[in-house]
């Protein structure tokens, strides 16, 4: 149960950080704050991506006993692929369920359809390494201080947000 609460807390923290990151980016580039389709201060694709980053890197570190450079290179490659697939699936799901296209990489030089581009894939790989070595240690200290009732409350709000958004 502890690991589940940890992952749930990480989901909310990273979803919120993704909301702030993406919202700030759109504020700078498009002069308005926008992130995702939900009403709450979370962008779930970032939370899902972060959880996968944490779980996959932990499994790779546990199984491999190579130099840090080799492990980091393998994690970079694996997570670049995984996070690209998550972005692609997220784009398809959002378009299918909510009839919206939130991003479109057709104008990127190395795109594969509208939801994948080599440029963004490399960015996801770099961000995953940054999360593992710099962000996760900080978040792990914060996560331990979140009371269980707050996590339950956020989960209920998130589910309500999903329901309201899908109506």
pLDDT of 2 strictly over 60: no
pLDDT of 99: 86
Write down the pLDDT at residue 100.
Answer: 86
pLDDT at 1: 47
pLDDT tens per residue across span 75-133: 999 999 999 999 999 999 989 988 888 889 999 999 999 999 999 999 999 999 999 99
Angle (nearest 5°) at CA 54 between 33 and 130? 60
* Cβ-based neighbours of 60, under 8 Å, separated by 6 or more: 71, 74, 75, 78
Tally the C-alpha atoms within 13 A of residue 166's C-alpha that lie toward its C-beta.
10
Mean pLDDT of 22-26: 90
Q: Where are the domains of the chain?
A: 2-143
pLDDT in tens, 147-162: 999 999 999 999 999 9
Q: How far apart are CA 82 and CA 86, in angstroms?
A: 6
Chain CA centroid to CA 43, Å: 8
Query: With bands split at pLDDT 50, 70 and 90, how would you rate the model's confidence at 3?
Result: low
- CA dist 158 and 154 (Å) reads 6
- Distance CA(12)–CA(55), nearest Å, equals 16
């Amino acid at each position: 149960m502890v690991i589940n609460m940890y992952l749930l807390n990480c989901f909310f923290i990273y979803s919120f950080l993704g909301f702030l990151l993406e919202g700030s980016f759109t504020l700078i580039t498009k002069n308005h704050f926008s992130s995702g389709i939900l009403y709450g201060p979370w962008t779930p694709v970032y939370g899902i991506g972060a959880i996968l980053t944490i779980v996959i890197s932990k499994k790779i570190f546990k199984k491999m006993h190579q130099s840090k450079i080799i492990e980091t290179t393998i994690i970079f490659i694996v997570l670049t692929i995984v996070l690209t697939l998550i972005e692609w699936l997220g784009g398809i799901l959002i378009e299918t369920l909510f009839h919206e296209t939130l991003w479109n990489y057709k104008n990127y030089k190395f795109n594969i359809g509208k939801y994948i581009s080599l440029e963004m894939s490399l960015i996801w790989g770099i961000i995953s390494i940054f999360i593992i070595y710099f962000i996760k240690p900080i978040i792990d200290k914060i996560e331990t201080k979140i009371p269980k009732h707050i996590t339950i409350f956020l989960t209920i709000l998130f589910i309500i947000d999903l329901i309201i958004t899908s109506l």
